[in-house]
């Protein structure tokens, strides 16, 4: 069993400040009572209010200190056609512990195993957890490749910082993940469409019921071999526009990849599925702004009502949208390869009514979601206030031209068929 060093922080939280409403005329006895009450509250806290030492003053992640312990019981590779997303796992895991007084410890690659955590560990009670989703691919020469890992590491750091978990050197962790992917290379099928899904995760591991910055943390990476999202080719999905539940809101954490953002979405998704839809299209506010589809970013291709020009449209990164790596890739490729063909690539707020109007007027070309799992997912219809909005596909079509082109472009880079700076070869 993996034993994590868990410890208590002192109960030296600072005394509560005197409320501004207490005037100079208040009696000293009242002040003393308030002070004692604050001290009593403070003494009951199980965490320290003192900020953790600056991470720049503590040891960072050091790939040169990596130790590798290979499993003595290698697992059986599942048949490719039986792979189910996130059900089978590779033989090893990468772990790096962190402590507020000692910084990052030496990284380890060890046999995949359970974690041993105290029931009072803060991740269980206050959701100190963030993660990433990325993949390793095998090219025709047998080399292992990652797709834009710098973007994943950047987002991972931002997510960790938002919930008071430690940040890290992005290149150092990328190098370690590359080493891990190479060790697990036998779990990467050498067929296009197959890959090794990588799940970097960070959790707070301090043993405390007090609410405060964790004094210890664990960063770990596990891996799962996965097959094509659409094994028999594209299958367009139907969405239910959801206005009775909100995925994210201004000033919140919807733009961070936190586990706490996902669990509350399950019930609305399940309700949509019970009505015959594959996913939710999340709307926001009285204006019903379009945000995301399920756990994916959302794109729509329309013709401008005034000019007739073709426009590829997606919601802006305003703090309520997760900055997807695939989203960023679609936008960059569109600006490079579609804009010269007359397309306008736009990030702006737009409403569900705007989509419905475009469909009714014959201006809606196609719509799709984007994400790591599927790359792109074509949309056939959206149910909105009792009407079915057709998203540009003919009855015998499962994908629009832009959706198909984006999948081919991105896959070509991921598998090394097109040499591109986004493809990171694990040396």
Q: Which residue's structure tokens are 């299958």?
A: 235
Q: Are 372 and 399 in contact (CB under 8 A)?
A: no
Which CATH number is 280's domain given? 3.20.10.10
Whether residues 194 and 245 fall in one domain: no
CB 176 within 8 A of CB 66: yes
293 lies in the same domain as 249: yes
- State residue 252's pLDDT score: 98
Structure tokens at 96: 């790096």
| DSSP secondary structure letter of residue 209 | S
Question: Are residues 222 and 301 located together in one domain of the fold?
Answer: no
Which residue's structure tokens are 């009670």?
125
What is the model's pTM?
0.87
- pLDDT score recorded for residue 169: 98
- Let me know whether 154 and 199 are in one domain: yes
Number of structural domains the chain divides into: 2
Residue 50 maps to a domain: no
Render the burial of 277-316: b for 16+ CB within 10 Å, e for the rest: bbbbbbbbeeebbbbbbbbbbbbbbbbeeeeeebbbbbbe
Regarding whether 168 and 221 lie in a shared domain, the answer is yes
Provide DSSP, 6-69: --PPP--PPPPPPPTT--TTS-HHHHHHHHHHHHHHHHH--S--SPPPPGGGS----GGG-EE-
DSSP 8-state code for residue 261: G
> Do both 108 and 244 map to the same domain?
no
Which of 171, 203, 226 is the last residue before a domain boundary? 226
State the pLDDT at residue 128: 99
Q: Are residues 289 and 395 in the same domain?
A: yes
Q: Under a CB-based contact definition with an 8 Å cutoff, are residues 174 and 150 in contact?
A: yes
Tell me what pLDDT residue 22 has. Answer: 35
In a domain, 241, yes or no: yes
pLDDT tens column, 179-234: 999 999 999 988 999 999 999 999 999 999 999 999 999 999 999 999 998 887 89
For 215-234, the DSSP string reads SEEEEEEEEEEE--SSTTS-
- Does residue 1 lie in a domain region? no
Q: How far apart are CA 409 and CA 124, in angstroms?
A: 41
Tell me which of 226, 255, 270 is where a domain ends.
226
Alpha-carbon distance 307 to 291, whole Å? 25
Q: How far is 323 from 20, CA to CA, in rounded Å?
A: 40
Domain identity same for 272 and 361: yes
CB atoms within 10 A of CB 143: 15
At residue 231, the pLDDT reads 80
User: Is the domain of 193 the same as that of 88?
Assistant: yes
Per-residue pLDDT tens, the chain, 427 aa: give them. Answer: 444 433 333 333 333 333 333 334 333 443 333 333 333 333 333 433 333 444 568 999 999 999 999 999 999 998 988 899 999 999 999 999 999 999 999 999 999 999 999 999 999 999 999 999 999 999 999 999 999 999 999 999 999 999 999 999 999 999 999 999 999 999 998 899 999 999 999 999 999 999 999 999 999 999 999 999 888 789 999 999 999 999 999 999 999 999 999 999 999 999 999 999 999 999 999 999 999 999 999 999 999 999 999 999 999 999 999 999 999 999 999 999 999 999 999 999 999 999 999 999 999 999 999 999 999 999 999 999 999 999 999 999 999 999 999 999 999 999 999 999 999 999 9
Q: Is residue 2, in this structure, part of any structural domain at all?
A: no
Verify that 244 and 213 share a domain, yes or no. no
Domain assignment of residue 407, yes or no: yes
Rounded to an integer, what distance in angstroms lies between the CA atom of residue 416 and that of residue 408?
12
Q: Say yes or no: 182 and 252 in one domain.
A: no
**Residue 19 in domain:** no
Q: Classify residue 72: in a domain, yes or no.
A: yes
In a domain, residue 74? The reply is yes
Phi, psi of 118 (to 5 degrees): -65, 145
The secondary structure of 310-341 as a DSSP string is: EEEEE---SSSS---HHHHHHHHHIIIIIGGG
Note whether 134 and 257 are within 8 A (CB): no
In this structure, the answer to whether residues 214 and 344 fall within a common structural domain is: no
Range of the domain at 396: 237-419
CATH number at residue 133: 3.30.470.10
Given 207, 226, 245, which residue is the final one in a domain? Answer: 226
């Amino acid at each position: 069993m993996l034993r994590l060093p868990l410890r208590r922080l002192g109960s030296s939280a600072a005394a509560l400040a005197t409320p501004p409403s207490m005037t100079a005329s208040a009696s000293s006895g009242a002040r003393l009572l308030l002070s004692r009450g604050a001290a009593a509250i403070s003494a009951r806290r199980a965490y320290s209010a003192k900020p953790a030492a600056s991470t720049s003053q503590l040891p960072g992640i050091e790939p040169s200190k990596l130790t590798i312990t290979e499993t003595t019981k290698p697992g059986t590779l599942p048949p490719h056609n039986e792979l189910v997303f996130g059900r089978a796992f590779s033989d090893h895991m990468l772990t790096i512990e962190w402590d507020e007084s000692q910084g990052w410890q030496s990284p380890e690659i060890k046999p995949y195993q359970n974690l041993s955590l105290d029931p009072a560990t803060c991740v269980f009670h206050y959701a100190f957890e963030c993660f990433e989703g990325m993949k390793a691919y095998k090219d025709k020469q047998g080399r292992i490749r990652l797709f834009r890992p710098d973007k994943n590491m950047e987002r991972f750091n931002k997510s960790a910082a938002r919930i008071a978990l430690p940040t890290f050197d992005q290149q150092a962790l990328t190098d370690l993940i590359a080493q891990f992917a190479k060790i697990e290379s036998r779990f990467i099928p050498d067929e296009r469409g197959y890959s090794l899904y990588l799940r970097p995760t960070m959790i707070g591991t301090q043993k405390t019921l007090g609410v405060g910055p964790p004094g210890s943390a664990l960063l770990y990476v596990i891996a799962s071999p996965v097959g094509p999202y659409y094994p028999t080719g594209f299958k367009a999905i139907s969405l239910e526009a959801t206005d009775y539940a909100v995925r994210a809101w201004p000033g919140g954490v919807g733009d961070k990849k936190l586990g706490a953002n996902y669990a509350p979405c399950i019930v609305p998704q399940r309700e949509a599925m019970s009505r015959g839809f594959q996913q939710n299209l999340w709307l926001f506010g009285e204006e019903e702004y379009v945000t995301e589809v399920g756990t994916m970013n959302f794109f729509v291709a329309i013709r401008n009502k005034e000019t007739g020009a073709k426009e590829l449209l997606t919601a802006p990164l305003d703090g309520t949208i997760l900055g997807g790596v695939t989203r960023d890739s679609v936008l960059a490729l569109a600006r490079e390869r579609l804009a010269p063909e007359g397309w306008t690539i736009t990030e702006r707020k737009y409403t569900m009514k705007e989509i419905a109007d475009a469909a009714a007027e014959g201006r809606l070309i196609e719509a799709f979601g984007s994400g790591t799992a599927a790359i792109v997912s074509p949309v056939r219809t959206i149910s909105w206030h009792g009407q079915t909005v057709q998203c540009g596909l003919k009855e015998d079509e499962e994908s629009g031209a832009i959706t198909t082109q984006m999948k081919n472009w991105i896959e070509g880079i991921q598998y090394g068929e097109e040499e591109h700076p986004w493809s990171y070869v694990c040396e």
